[in-house]
Amino acid sequence: MNTDPELLKKLIQKGNLLPQEEMLEVARKKGSLNIGIPKETSFQERRVALVPETVSLLVANGHHVKIETKAGIGANFSDREYSEAGAEICQGPSEIYECNIVFKVTPPSDEEVDLMPGNQTLISALQISIQPKAVLTKLIRKKITAIAWDYIRDEDGVFSLVRTVGEIAGNTSILIAGELISSFASGKGMMLGGIAGVQPTEVVIIGAGTVGEFATRAALGLGASVKVFDNRLSKLRRLQNDIGKRVYTSIIQPKVLAKAIKRADIVIGALRSNVGKTPCVVTEMMIQDMKSGSVIVDVSIDQGGCFETSRITNHDDPTFIKHGVTHYCVPNIASRVSRTASFAISNIFSPLLLEMGDCGGVVELIRSNQGFRNGVYIYKGILTNEVLGKVFDLNYKDIHLILPGI
């Protein structure tokens, strides 16, 4: 090795051996979250955002959870269970909506937004078809950071919560249809499925996503004859591979779809749009040609519905008859099985909330987690969702322009 002092001096002068600062890793500051879980006020909403098991996990990690009394009663969770898990039980909603993070299942009402002092984070669903403009403008005015849990993606780019709720909705939609087509629901008196020597019930499923896949599994399991339609060939191919058996599948072509619907006893609407409203693919004329006493279950009604005759109903009065066809158009089908649905929401959000605390808060998680960032539709009072901006004629900005360097 050459240790000539003159050579070393020349190298130092050229900058090749200049002393460098040692970079030490600085641990991210872990923050304590203050989470409020209100009682759902939407009509017949029985789900709750966090179950006691998740509350216990959050409290054990140093976070504070407040829950309104009887918030979990619809999913058969008592105040005592939440109290034993470490949550603080509040007698009214005012304390809940003062928390830094308000986590609820359904979109907030006008009155609920009024209870929020501002500069907070709201995590809830975003139902574009029934989203009032007044609520949106109030959230913007109060500089709320609003996150739609149904638009959050996981590491694989999948809407994880939508998929889980879709699995529930797919299975439940077939059970509902089977009930409506029986005699006790003033239906045709048919059994969903088939027995030896009797023609099986014909089921048409529009949409080969998660809801469509699990509706297909349930219908096939009961012995029904199933036809699946979708506007993307890749989804139909994936459905066939996942189910593991041959099923009638077709691209949505009006003539082919009309012919299948005309013969169907049950039609499940399971189309979903990644952005905006669900396309309406079944016209009123097609429904007029359906057999009298047939059943339509429009699972996609929360995004506008894929049947021209669909209109939103509720669990108290879930059906209406038009052109002799029974329509079931309840947007929150998962609320029929509220306990299962609550566990689904809670289990997906528990790691996200823990990650939020570890990285230092909501803003840091939005910066670091692209999937979580996808669910943001208002960032500190700035509308970031293009669809909402165009629907309500409001100014919007891309979140990547607001948060440079992400």
**Domain at 165-331: CATH code:** 3.40.50.720
- Provide the pLDDT confidence category of residue 28 given band limits of 50, 70 and 90: very low
Whether the domain at 34-151+337-402 and the domain at 165-331 fall into the same CATH topology: yes
Q: Taking every pair of C-alpha atoms in the chain, what is the biggest distance, in angstroms? A: 102
For Cα atoms 180, 186, 192, give the angle at the middle one, nearest 5 degrees.
35
192: DSSP letter:
S
Q: Look at residue 129 in the predicted model and tell me its pLDDT.
A: 59
Q: Look at residue 332 in the predicted model and tell me its pLDDT.
A: 80
Assign 235 to helix, strand or coil.
helix
44 to each of 260, 330, 335, 387, how far by Cα in Å?
Answer: 34, 11, 8, 28
Average pLDDT, the chain: 88
* 169 pLDDT above the threshold of 60: yes
DSSP 312-345: ---SSS-EEEETTEEEE--S-GGGGGHHHHHHHH
- For residues 52-87, one letter each, b for 16 or more C-beta atoms within 10 angstroms of the residue's C-beta and e for the rest, the string is bebbbbbeeeebbbbbbeebbebbebebebbeebbb
Q: Structure tokens of 146? A: 């609003």
Find out whether 225 and 247 touch, Cβ atoms under 8 Å: no
**Exposed / middle / buried, residue 172 (Cβ in 10 Å: 0-12, 13-18, 19+):** buried
- Supply the pTM of this predicted model: 0.78
**pLDDT tens track for 215-256:** 999 999 999 999 999 999 999 999 999 988 889 999 999 999
Q: Look at residue 388 in the predicted model and tell me its pLDDT.
A: 87
278 to each of 127, 206, 307, 318, how far by Cα in Å?
Answer: 12, 12, 10, 20
If you average pLDDT over each of 6-15, 76-85, 325-334, which comes out highest? 76-85
Q: Structure tokens of 287? A: 């429904």
Ranges of each domain in the chain: 34-151+337-402, 165-331
| CATH topology for the 34-151+337-402 domain | Rossmann fold (3.40.50)
Find out whether 192 and 219 touch, Cβ atoms under 8 Å: yes
Q: Look at residue 27 in the predicted model and tell me its pLDDT.
A: 45
